[in-house]
């Protein structure tokens, strides 16, 4: 994948299942979107209006964010991405490189795509909900940037406070498999 995109993909693939963020949301993050005191990311825009949200970063993902901040050369968490495609998105080339990587690893199977990391995050949260009442469908919707199930919550509620979202993210510790923890915690290595 090359030095630049290999390292980007390595970090994106470790952050995505811990944040539930879409690839475009992660690639669009600026350094100013990191809320260091909360160890969280501010997603300023996305696919829908509900995509605007605060996402606490799981403890395994925070070192990745810190490394990205420390090495940013252009004010973006993922430095050096070239905007491309019809919309000039910073994720355009990354998506193409991920498809190439996926094909090299999995062959022609189309069962896994980058969105699979988002599905993984949702699955982890649902499983964590059996361990703590801090995780429920409303919390999952808010963390993933989806609309909430009831009119009262979708229209009238101003949402959860950061500490409640943090508790839900911390509950991932109950359900992330040990071998996944090992891979998510790997140090940045040359790609």
Check residue 2 and give its pLDDT: 63
Specify the long-range contacts of residues 90-97, CB closer than 8 Å, at least 24 apart. 90/24, 90/27, 90/28, 91/23, 91/24, 91/26, 91/27, 91/28, 93/5, 94/5, 94/8, 94/9, 94/12, 94/23, 94/27, 95/23, 97/1, 97/2, 97/5, 97/8, 97/9
Fold of 3-184: hpI Integrase; Chain A (1.10.443)
One digit per residue, pLDDT tens: the chain, 191 residues?
Answer: 566 788 999 999 999 999 999 999 999 999 999 999 999 999 987 676 667 789 999 999 999 999 999 999 999 999 999 999 999 999 999 999 998 888 888 888 778 888 999 999 999 999 999 999 999 888 998 898 866 666 556 656 666 788 999 999 999 999 999 998 888 876 543 33
End-to-end CA distance of the chain: 7
**What residues form DSSP beta bridges with 76?**
30
Find out whether 61 and 21 touch, Cβ atoms under 8 Å.
no
pTM of the model: 0.87
């Amino acid at each position: 994948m090359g030095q630049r995109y290999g390292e980007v993909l390595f970090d994106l693939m470790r952050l995505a299942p811990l944040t539930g963020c879409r690839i475009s949301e992660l690639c669009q993050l600026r350094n100013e979107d990191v809320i260091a005191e909360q160890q969280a990311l501010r997603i300023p825009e996305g696919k829908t209006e509900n995509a605007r949200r605060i996402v606490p970063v799981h403890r395994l993902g925070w070192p990745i964010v810190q490394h990205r901040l420390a090495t940013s050369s252009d004010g973006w968490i993922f430095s050096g991405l070239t905007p491309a495609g019809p919309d000039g998105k910073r994720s355009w080339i990354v998506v193409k490189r991920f498809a190439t990587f996926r094909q090299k690893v999995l062959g022609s199977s189309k069962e896994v795509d980058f969105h699979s990391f988002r599905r993984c995050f949702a699955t982890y949260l649902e499983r964590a909900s059996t361990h703590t009442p801090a995780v429920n469908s409303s919390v999952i919707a808010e963390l993933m940037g989806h609309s909430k199930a009831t009119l009262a919550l979708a229209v009238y509620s101003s949402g959860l406070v950061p500490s409640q979202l943090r508790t839900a993210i911390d509950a991932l510790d109950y359900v992330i498999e040990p071998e996944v923890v090992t891979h998510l915690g790997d140090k940045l290595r040359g790609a």
